[in-house]
Structure 1
Amino acid sequence: MRSNFARKRNQFIAFSIFRAAIYLNVLALALFLGFIAINGISAISWEFLTEHPRKSMTEGGIWPCIVGTVYISLGSILVAFPLGVGTAIYLNEFSGGGRWTRIIRMGIINLAGVPSVVYGLFGLAFFVLYLNMGVSLLAGSLTLGAFILPLIIGSAEEALRNVPQSYREASLALGATKWQTVYRMVLPAALPSMLTGMILGVSRAAGETAPIMFTAAVFYTGKIPSSIFDEIMAMPYHIYVLATAGVNIDQTRPLQYGTALTLMFLVLGLNLVAILVRNKLQRRL
């Protein structure tokens, strides 16, 4: 009887701790979102969303920043998603395990822990200077793509592992080749879960400052990028500039919070589009 009571008591304590952790995280998120919304909502207007910055960025809007953030986020996904999925397919389906595969996986894990500023310095040295791309949308997209690549590889590998082995066995038993099995059976079944990793990658790419401040983003440009070799304005870097540079930091405080609030909604919108695409693919399967 005492043993049963002790087990129930320990279970209650453990579940209470878990609930408290959940509530604490939800509370912290609500406070953060509420703080940004309260301080930034006054800056949101049609002018703020559709015009260029004016008067040392103390007036006007953030339209070039919005466009630049969308471009570089999508560019990084176009770079990272095919490479990440291809790497995951090789590691999970064709490598056969072994020491070399373990070394590759260890390298991917280590890359996931490298600080973002290191990726920024790498992009500056390799893409901007060595390959002579200059500060451009292309250099920033490649740098951000490298930054989120370990995340894409990890989520894609996990999606492939979750495909039942019976799919592969049935396809091979019907005479399909290994590649046909992967391409026609395994990959379609894993794709919706892979898109979850892509969603996380978009969210992470859109909010990064360090990788783009050396490779793509500039303090101010008066034009929307029309080429992959054009420099851009981006919301994360714009917030950094408004909060740290110049003599009008207090004057631009509402613009800082307004830009942060817009960035949150932009990331939410990009995620929502990706989620709708993923759900549509899941229904087809």
Structure 2
Amino acid sequence: MNKDSKIYVAGHRGLVGSAIVRNLKYKGYKNVIGKSHRELDLMSFEAVREFFGNKKPEYIFLAAAKVGGIGVNDKAPADFIYENLMMECNVIKAAHDFKVKKLLFLGSSCIYPKMCSQPIKEEYLLSGYLEPTNEGYALAKICGLKMCEFFKKQYGDNFISVMPTNLYGPNDNFDLETSHVMPALIRKFHEAKTNNKPSVEIWGTGKPLREFLHVDDMSDACVYLMEKYNGHEHVNIGTGKEISIKELALLIKSIVGYEGELRFDESKPDGTPRKLLDISKLNNLGWKYKIELEAGIKDLYNWFLQNYRSN
């Protein structure tokens, strides 16, 4: 990419897309395009083709997606598979038809089997059953990855895919009905502290192990790979470190300054017991994360205090 290349970031207002835009602008890229859902409905093939015909983007970061935590994924699997498939298919096909120079597709670590060997290597994809609670989303992401792989194989399109671990950071979603575990816990502890509640309820047993990556590190890795990587295989993005949900809750509790108790609702699902990415491929390509978990959570809590207003 050149500094004046026309770069389209699909989903530029979301957690991932906004971080990619920040990173691109920080690195001096001057021609970054973003369209809101109102301006461009990515589920409409005609609208997408009209956009590509008019704007003629040269590079694409496909970060647009319908996302949510374990609860909403489990309740609406049809919505998650349909909406994500439609967006991916429309953008990837248009990128091929309009001869885009390069596309980077963002997947999710939930594409890997539920009982996968740890740490998870890229080659473990499709080696076992998926976690049922987010199977619809995972299948859609697998299809997006495979579309990029097959368009590269059949047509030579320079389409690459990345699989980030659990992300957090500025512009995160703090809606308790749809959020992921990190922002949900931050909001719960903050509101419990503000309202002097004696305890905070946490889904599941607290035993599952998770890996967390600050979204600014993720975006830096994506831009790095867009600049330097042209391989056929997808690339994991993570830290190589993990923490239990209970340990995470205790860390957030300390950062927020909440002094009450934790209550684990074991009637709620835990999801995948462990999910740690093997990031040796990414490290060998020359990239490593910078933001440690405690510093990243403090950064997100400060952002929450300055920007979030509950309804």
Shorter-normalised TM range: under 0.3
Q: Where is the strand percentage greater, Structure 1 or Structure 2?
A: 2
TM-score by length of 1: 0.24
Q: Where is the helix percentage greater, Structure 1 or Structure 2?
A: 1
Larger Rg: 1
TM-score by length of 2: 0.23
